[in-house]
Amino acid sequence: MAIDFNQEKNLFHLKTKNTSYIIKLVNGKYPAHLYWGRKLDGSLNFDHKILYGDRPVMTIIKEDNLSLELLPQEYPAYGNTDYGVPAYKILQENGSRTTNALYSKHRIYNGKAELSGLPASYAEQDDKVKTLEIDLIDQTADFKIILSYTVFADYDIITRSAKIINQGEQNLNLQSALSMSLDFEDSNFEMLQLSGAWGRERYLKTRPLIQGLQQIESKRGASSHYQNPFLALCRPNTDEFKGEVFAANLIYSGNFKATVEVNHYDRTRLSLGINDFDFNWLLKTGEEFQAPEAVLVYSDQGLNQMSQLYHQFYQERLVKSKFKAEERPVLLNNWEGTYFDFDEEKIVEMAAIAAELGVELFVLDDGWFGRRNDDTSSLGDWYVNKNKLPNGVSGLAEKINKLGLDFGIWVEPEMVSPDSDLYREHPEWVIEVPDRPNSEGRNQLILDFSCREVQDYIIDVLTKLFADSNISYVKWDMNRNMTEIGSNKLAVERQQETAHRYMVGLYRVLEKLTSQFPDILFESCASGGGRFDPGMLYYMPQTWTSDDTDAVERLKIQYGTSLVYPISSIGAHISAVPNHQLGRITSLDMRADVAYYGAFGYELDPRELSFKEREIVKKQINKFKSLRKLIQYGDFFRLLSPFKGNETAWMTVSKDQKEAFVSYYKILAEANVFSGSLKLKGLNPEFDYYIKVIDKTLSGSQLLYSGLPIGELKQEDFSSKSWHLQVI
């Protein structure tokens, strides 16, 4: 049983293959969190964790002789004897914000229900998946909270979410409705977050916990470049291969907050959900509010194990697209090769060379529509610019197809340029507030996706675009964050719902389009990696990781991204040098050794490649194709961190352990040093591996415990080496 309920002890035991999560109904009414960690067996008793009684300056609930401040609650309310971050807060018509939703009943069932209107993980028929739903009821304000816990036993994953239902006569205002809250008995953790900026997305940042609040969040209407909706608590000295990690990741692409609060007893509360900053949701009689899903991972073998659990789960039980297990096409994207300066002739010339090199998909980026020759106009006018493409998108797609390539196209459907026919026709269709000017980002405004009419318009226009031409791939971009957040279509009292309604609207549009066009491979993008999150991944199995295509910078960006997101989802391209973002010159070899670890492609003008470079590129593409399944779907191990020094190394191992690909990178060359060995991971110690580049066979045990000799490196900065290991 993945979920046991011991009625006598009022104890729920949620069990995955290797972990346990235990909840007790204290006094039959308060769901308290007693344990999460390595799997427990036998007779369990956690009574010592429930502390009753009074202490100086403590407020207590008389009838229970207990203070909620001492109770590790699963979904704490506001206004009572708990002073920590509440999981929810509800303003009632009488002005009260105090609530007290208590256990009323629960259900345990096989499988998992969908989350209405939101992306979420799913169970397949033969999965050992069970869901526990606990109903909490507040008698006074007459609302119900359903706490959902789904146990994916074989994946070692537990997901959580919450739904709030107004069962009464009065209007309720949800001022906060998080997805989860989790209390730990102590605060002996480091907090790990993925933070950064444009061009520096998802860097690993850690800090020790101290009494008080530590928080990451987004208020930008997108999950953002700056913070990812992921947070982990790690025991001190945890590294890639040892130590306990408690991680949570939110399946959501909008404003979120992840908080860690250490209280005066050194207890720690981790909460995650929609950001309650500038959030208010009017819940009328009979209405319900669904909070997004949080994905919890526990690892007792450091960060690598955590990542592998996320990778496998997301690949198999989050990504919905049929491409989830397919090898991703090698693409050429014209953005850095041409920017806006192209026409059909140029594109076809580029594609012809790309086809000779072995590229499988040509992606036409920004600038093919309206009158768009720079970023000052035409977003919203999704019809072809005949000056550039006289035969239309379909004519170009045909020509590209004739060269033996699939054709893909760029769109940015959530945006509108003030200088566009769409905006002139519908100025009221943008996110804005009354009587104030709209700020612009990249000269554009945001369409009000909270509004059904706008959603339907975009669905219609894109349906035509995707149906009229032979389109195999779509890059869905989004290049600015929200300001002046409001909707012309929402009532005054619902204005603070705009940002979340926008996300729900976007998800509806994506649901429609991705199910109408199941054969299109969708890639999401937001000025590079500004919305690399599980919510987008549900619809689009890959994401453009960063606009920073410099190979050295990419080591950090891809290393950080791999912490949570599968290698198959990480868009990684080789671009021209000097690199357009920072002017660095790196070798084609190094650029390839980095870009191989992802959804691989090129982003340059192939006409500018010399004969010699074309020969190298051909070889790279051939090599990648032969390794692609291994790299995109193998088990990924990070060996040396770019955040810790001059070297980086990582590798991937096939599920049967018979094949592996290892890469090592050294940023700055050093004089008069000897390179050591790389202790590999994930291999079978009993197998022998043949390594072609050095023409040697080494045993798995030697490679694991003594290491793979790195050998001589080129005497240059930014060097790399890769090894393909095979059991013959």
Residue 458 and residue 429 in contact, taking contact as beta carbons nearer than 8 Å: no
Residue 277 and residue 498 in contact, taking contact as beta carbons nearer than 8 Å: no
- Site for ligand DGJ contains 201 (CB under 6 A): no
In this structure, what token pair is assigned to residue 531?
A: 């919305």
Nearer to ligand DGJ, 196 or 292 (CB): 196
**Nearest residue to 506 (alpha-carbon basis) of 559, 550, 567, 458:** 458
Q: Is 82 labeled as catalytic in the residue annotation?
A: no
The 3-state DSSP class for residue 227 equals strand
Beta bridge partners of 230: 249
Nearer to ligand DGJ, 333 or 487 (CB): 333
Out of 191, 525, 564, 703, the only residue in the binding site for ligand DGJ (CB under 6 A) is 525
**Cα–chain-centroid distance for residue 468?**
31
- Site for ligand DGJ contains 365 (CB under 6 A): yes
Q: Which of 82, 406, 477, 548 is catalytic?
A: 477
Contact map string, positions 312 to 341, toward ligand DGJ, x by CB under 6 A: -----------------------x------
The 3-state DSSP class for residue 501 equals helix
Helices 588-595 and 611-633: crossing angle, nearest 10°?
A: 20
Beta bridge partners of 489: none
- Site for ligand DGJ contains 544 (CB under 6 A): yes
Nearer to ligand DGJ, 273 or 598 (CB): 598
Least Å distance, CB 26 to ligand DGJ, is 50
Task: Give dist(CA 607, CA 352) in Å, integer.
Answer: 10
Stretch that binds ligand DGJ, among 172-180, 299-307, 522-530, 574-582 (CB under 6 A): 522-530
Out of 547, 550, 593, 647, the only residue in the binding site for ligand DGJ (CB under 6 A) is 547
- Site for ligand DGJ contains 298 (CB under 6 A): no
Nearer to ligand DGJ, 152 or 473 (CB): 473
Any idea how long the chain is? 728
Task: Give dist(CA 634, CA 623) in Å, integer.
Answer: 16
Task: Give dist(CA 262, CA 269) in Å, integer.
Answer: 6
Task: Give dist(CA 302, CA 486) in Å, integer.
Answer: 43
DSSP 295: E
Contact map string, positions 423 to 462, toward ligand DGJ, x by CB under 6 A: ----------------------------------------
Residue ranges in 226-265 that form contacts with ligand DGJ under rule CB under 6 A: none
Q: Is 300 labeled as catalytic in the residue annotation?
A: no
The 3-state DSSP class for residue 323 equals helix
Out of 407, 410, 473, 476, the only residue in the binding site for ligand DGJ (CB under 6 A) is 410
Residue ranges in 9-28 that form contacts with ligand DGJ under rule CB under 6 A: none
Residue ranges in 470-489 that form contacts with ligand DGJ under rule CB under 6 A: 477, 479
The 3-state DSSP class for residue 32 equals strand
Nearer to ligand DGJ, 34 or 525 (CB): 525
Out of 366, 381, 548, 553, the only residue in the binding site for ligand DGJ (CB under 6 A) is 366
Least Å distance, CB 625 to ligand DGJ, is 24
DSSP 529: B
Nearer to ligand DGJ, 85 or 411 (CB): 411
Least Å distance, CB 367 to ligand DGJ, is 8
Q: Which of 138, 547, 550, 635 is catalytic?
A: 547
Q: Is 632 exposed, middle or buried (0-12, 13-18, 19+ CB in 10 A)?
A: buried
Radius of gyration of the chain (CA): 27
Stretch that binds ligand DGJ, among 42-50, 432-440, 457-465, 524-532 (CB under 6 A): 524-532
Nearer to ligand DGJ, 5 or 339 (CB): 339
Least Å distance, CB 364 to ligand DGJ, is 10
Least Å distance, CB 335 to ligand DGJ, is 5
Nearer to ligand DGJ, 316 or 477 (CB): 477
Residue 681 and residue 241 in contact, taking contact as beta carbons nearer than 8 Å: yes
**Nearest residue to 256 (alpha-carbon basis) of 330, 150, 193, 179:** 179
In this structure, what token pair is assigned to residue 542?
A: 């890959």
Q: How far is CA 375 from CA 19, 49, 68, 364, in A?
A: 51, 59, 54, 16
Q: Which residues are catalytic?
A: 477, 547
* Site for ligand DGJ, rule CB under 6 A: 335, 365-366, 410, 477, 479, 525, 527-528, 544, 547
